[in-house]
Every structure is written in structure tokens, then in C-alpha cells.
């Protein structure tokens, strides 16, 4: 009888423990399944939305993209189901694995694209952090889409006609490039970029009855062009020494915008509003202000395609000093053998990058008529301008990029 009683007590004890275990497991199950994590598969891509795909607050949202296929893949990240849009909303998007760093960008409600033309190698995982700013009502879902029909787009045509390499033949920022070094890989704020360097002969584009040169494929698949010659009107960088850092109100930008409206506005379907970089950060010594770009380019000889300062969005702008160095110039040598040199340009032409300033003068980086980078011209003097524009990533072209058969946009 006593044994039977003990067995009953043991059974009751086991039953109680089991009930407790089931209860705890159920609570744990509820906690796990109520997490907002979403995992989706898009072709070869697996997308893990760690905080869910719905973006609605100023919190950080993390997600990752993995390429499970046997080939490298390009993809884009889109806005889907946009609601209660507020124009003041900005976003930051970062991925160390994809070399992407987008600070304080406006939402593009025309294309709904946060970023595109992102390359993910086979077997790789790219982790992202997205954060909205100034948001009170706007919400949207993230959507990852594999990029299709790459072979038709301009950047794909460029890559097909000029196979890229990872390493230039000469040292960027130190040596001049006098031979055709082709199309070289690097990274900008948006991801993988490809730039031309040296005596390139197949980067011509005909647009608005003018010849342009391809500078690079931007990290988002848009294509940056610079006018092959200068425009007819000279410009000083700024009229006011004290306001020289305010690029938005420069004489340069006014003339560029007028040029755009006169010659390029009818091609607006093909020219995108793009981020142009202006660095204002500086250090002071006893006699002058030295901008960070001077320390980076002159002292340390380290150019970059990443914007390390402020930016503004516009459909027309200027090259940075960094981009000129990548193309093949340096500070010591004349270079009449790289594609940015044009014998018909008889004057110094401005970049958008500031070098030095005093209380009575300031000096932007500029390029001499002999193809050398300089910083000895006062920004109050009138010098030449070479506009830059960026073509939509889905532009389709004919031609082979040579001067006799330049790329020509297929109009809709």
C-alpha cells in the first residue's frame, strides 16, 4: 500500500514538472514566434529581415542578404507600400560587407529605390543597418529585387566593352597615368564603382550636340560624365571669401544650372539628380585654414570616392579633386596624355574641392591647362568650368565609345 502511494506521488510529481515544462516552453514559443524576424527567398538570394520588413520609426533596422547561388548576383533595395510620406524624412544605410555608406539621403519617391546595382558574390552574406531620421508618420516595407536585363543597361555595356581590373598600373594620387590603364574597380558610398584611368580612347558619349567623357560607373549603376571641353563662360568659385564654403550659392553653381537649363533640360529623363560632395571640415594653423581634403590628397596622398563632407543633390555639378587624381593627374607633373586633358582648354578649370583659406583669400583645387592638379589659384578669379552629369542606370546606348562612334542614348 505504501509502495502504491509512493508511485502515485511520483506520478503526480512528474505530471506537475511536465506541466511546468510545457508552460515554460509555450511561453518561450510565444516569445520566439512573436518576434518580427522575416526570412524571404528571392531566386538565389535569402533575405533575413531581423526586425521585420516594415520600416516605420526612427529606430535602427537590421537585415542581411545571402547569395546561395553559384553565380555573382546584382540586386536593388526598394521602398514598397509607402504610406504617409513626409518630405523631411531622411535615411542612412550602411553595409561594411558591401562597402556601402549612405548618410542622410532623401527618400526617392520617383523610383522608390534606396540603392541599386549592388554586387553580392556567390556564397557571400552582406549585413545592413537602416535608420530613418526626422520621421513621425512615414512607413514602408523593404523589398529586395534581383536586377534583371543587365546586358542592356549602359553600365553593363561599358563593362562588356572594357573588362575591369582590380589594380591600376600606376599609383593613384602619386603617379600620373599616361597610358590606357582601362577600367578599374574601387568603392564609393553606394558600393562597387569602376573608373577610367589614363589615356582612355573608348569613353566618349555624344549628348546635346557635345562630346562627353565617362569618368566612372557609380556604385549604384549610374554613369558619371564630364564635358570633354569647357563651357564658354568663365566663373569664379565664389564672390565672397567669407562665404566660400557655401557651394549652394556659388557663382559656379548658378552658371552650371543655367547651362543645364539651356542645353540639357530636354534630356531630363536620362539625367538623374545626384549627390555631389563638398568638404568643409578643416584645421587651423597660425596663418591659414587647411581643409581635410588638402591633408588627404597633398599630405597623405590618399584619394577616395567616398564623400567625407557635406553633399547636395543636383542634376549638374563638378568633379572632385579626388576624381581627377583617379583619372590620372597628380600635383607634381604635367599630364597631356590622360583623357581629362584637352588642348582646346586654355585655362585652369575648377574642381568642387577646397584646399586652403585665409581671412582674405581661399584656394580650391583646380586643374591646369597642362593637366596638373593645382591649389594656387584664388577662388575669386574667373576660370573655366567642365560640367559633370550622371546618367540613369537604365539608359540604353548604341555606339562603341570611340571618338568616331561615341555612345549615343537610345531615346524613348
Reported as a single tens digit per residue, the pLDDT across 130-186 is 999 989 899 999 999 987 656 689 999 999 999 899 999 999 999 999 999 999 999
Q: Which of 170, 163, 144, 221 is nearest to 329 (CA)?
A: 170
* Residue 239, pLDDT above cutoff 90: no
Beta carbons within 8 Å of 209's beta carbon, 6+ residues apart: 263
3-class SS of residue 14: helix
For residues 357 and 374, is the Cβ–Cβ distance under 8 A? no
Q: What is the per-residue pLDDT for 371?
A: 98
The residue assigned the cell 524576424 is: 37
Q: What is the per-residue pLDDT for 23?
A: 47
Tell me the C-alpha distance between 26 and 29, whole Å: 5
Considering only residues 25 and 60, tell me which one the structure prediction assigns the higher pLDDT: 60
- Reading the block at residue 265, the C-alpha cell is 533640360
pLDDT in tens, 190-234: 888 999 999 999 999 999 999 999 999 998 889 999 999 999 999
Q: What is the mean pLDDT of the chain?
A: 89
- Half-sphere exposure for 166 (CA within 13 Å, toward CB): 0
The residue assigned the cell 589659384 is: 377
pLDDT in tens, 74-84: 898 999 999 99
Among 50-64, 317-331, 365-379, where is mean pLDDT lowest?
Answer: 50-64
Q: Which of 144, 47, 61, 130 is nearest to 90 (CA)?
A: 130
* Residue 64, pLDDT above cutoff 70: yes
Tell me the C-alpha distance between 356 and 128, whole Å: 37
pLDDT in tens, 260-280: 999 999 999 999 998 898 889
Tell me the C-alpha distance between 263 and 183, whole Å: 29
* Residue 311, pLDDT above cutoff 90: no
Tell me the C-alpha distance between 11 and 378, whole Å: 93
Beta carbons within 8 Å of 158's beta carbon, 6+ residues apart: 183, 194, 214, 217, 223, 401
Q: What is the per-residue pLDDT for 410?
A: 92
* Residue 320, pLDDT above cutoff 70: yes
The per-residue b/e assignment along 218-240, b for 16 or more CB within 10 angstroms, e otherwise, is bbbbbbbbbbbbbbeebbbbbee
3-class SS of residue 189: coil
pTM for the model stands at 0.79
What Rg, from alpha-carbon coordinates, does the chain have? 27
* 396 alpha-carbon distance from chain centroid: 21
Q: What is the per-residue pLDDT for 315?
A: 95
Tell me the C-alpha distance between 409 and 264, whole Å: 13
Tell me the C-alpha distance between 326 and 329, whole Å: 7
Confidence label for 14 from pLDDT (cuts 50, 70 and 90): low
Considering only residues 311 and 233, tell me which one the structure prediction assigns the higher pLDDT: 233
Q: What is the per-residue pLDDT for 196?
A: 98
Q: What is the per-residue pLDDT for 192?
A: 86
For residues 362 and 378, is the Cβ–Cβ distance under 8 A? yes
* Residue 16, pLDDT above cutoff 60: no
Beta carbons within 8 Å of 211's beta carbon, 6+ residues apart: 204, 205, 227, 228, 229, 403, 406
Tally the residues of the chain: 412
Confidence label for 30 from pLDDT (cuts 50, 70 and 90): very low
- Tally of CB atoms within 10 A around 81: 12
CATH topology of domain 38-146: Immunoglobulin-like (2.60.40)
> Domain residues of the chain, as ranges?
1-34, 38-146, 154-409
pLDDT in tens, 284-295: 887 899 999 999
Amino acid at each position: 500500500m505504501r509502495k502504491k502511494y509512493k508511485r502515485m506521488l511520483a506520478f503526480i510529481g512528474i505530471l506537475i514538472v511536465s506541466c511546468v515544462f510545457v508552460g515554460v516552453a509555450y511561453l518561450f514559443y510565444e516569445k520566439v514566434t512573436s518576434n518580427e524576424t522575416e526570412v524571404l527567398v528571392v531566386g538565389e538570394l535569402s533575405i533575413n529581415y531581423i526586425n521585420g520588413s516594415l520600416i516605420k520609426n526612427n529606430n535602427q533596422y537590421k537585415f542581411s542578404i545571402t547569395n546561395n547561388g553559384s553565380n555573382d548576383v546584382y540586386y536593388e533595395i526598394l521602398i514598397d507600400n509607402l504610406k504617409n510620406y513626409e518630405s523631411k524624412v531622411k535615411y542612412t544605410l550602411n553595409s561594411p560587407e558591401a562597402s556601402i555608406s549612405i548618410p542622410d539621403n532623401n527618400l526617392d519617391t520617383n523610383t522608390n529605390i534606396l540603392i541599386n546595382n549592388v554586387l553580392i558574390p556567390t556564397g557571400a552574406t552582406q549585413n545592413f543597418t537602416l535608420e530613418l531620421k526626422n520621421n513621425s508618420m512615414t512607413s514602408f516595407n523593404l523589398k529586395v529585387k534581383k536586377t534583371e536585363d543587365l546586358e542592356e543597361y549602359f553600365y553593363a555595356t561599358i563593362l562588356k566593352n572594357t573588362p575591369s581590373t582590380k589594380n591600376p598600373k600606376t599609383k593613384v594620387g602619386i603617379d600620373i597615368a599616361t597610358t590606357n590603364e582601362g577600367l578599374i574597380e574601387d568603392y564609393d558610398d553606394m558600393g562597387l564603382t569602376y573608373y577610367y584611368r589614363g589615356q582612355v580612347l573608348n569613353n566618349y558619349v555624344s549628348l546635346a550636340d557635345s562630346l562627353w567623357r565617362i569618368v566612372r560607373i557609380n556604385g549604384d549603376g549610374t554613369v558619371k560624365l564630364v564635358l570633354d571641353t569647357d563651357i564658354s563662360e568663365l566663373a569664379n568659385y565664389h564672390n565672397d571669401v567669407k562665404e566660400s564654403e557655401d557651394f549652394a550659392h556659388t557663382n559656379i553653381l548658378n552658371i552650371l544650372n543655367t547651362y543645364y537649363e539651356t542645353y540639357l533640360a530636354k534630356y531630363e529623363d536620362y539625367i538623374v539628380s545626384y549627390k555631389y560632395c563638398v568638404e568643409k571640415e578643416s584645421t587651423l594653423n597660425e596663418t591659414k585654414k587647411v581643409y581635410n581634403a588638402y591633408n588627404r590628397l597633398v599630405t597623405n596622398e590618399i584619394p577616395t570616392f567616398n564623400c567625407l563632407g557635406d553633399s547636395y543633390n543636383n542634376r549638374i555639378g563638378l568633379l572632385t579633386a579626388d576624381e581627377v587624381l583617379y583619372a590620372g593627374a597628380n600635383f607634381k607633373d604635367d599630364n597631356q596624355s590622360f583623357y581629362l586633358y584637352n588642348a582646346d582648354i586654355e585655362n585652369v578649370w575648377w574642381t568642387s574641392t577646397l584646399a586652403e583659406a585665409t581671412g582674405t583669400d581661399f584656394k580650391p583645387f583646380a586643374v591646369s591647362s597642362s593637366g596638373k592638379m593645382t591649389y594656387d589659384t584664388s577662388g575669386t578669379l574667373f576660370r573655366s568650368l567642365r560640367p559633370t552629369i550622371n546618367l540613369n542606370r537604365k539608359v540604353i546606348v548604341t555606339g562603341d565609345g570611340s571618338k568616331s562612334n561615341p555612345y549615343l542614348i537610345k531615346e524613348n
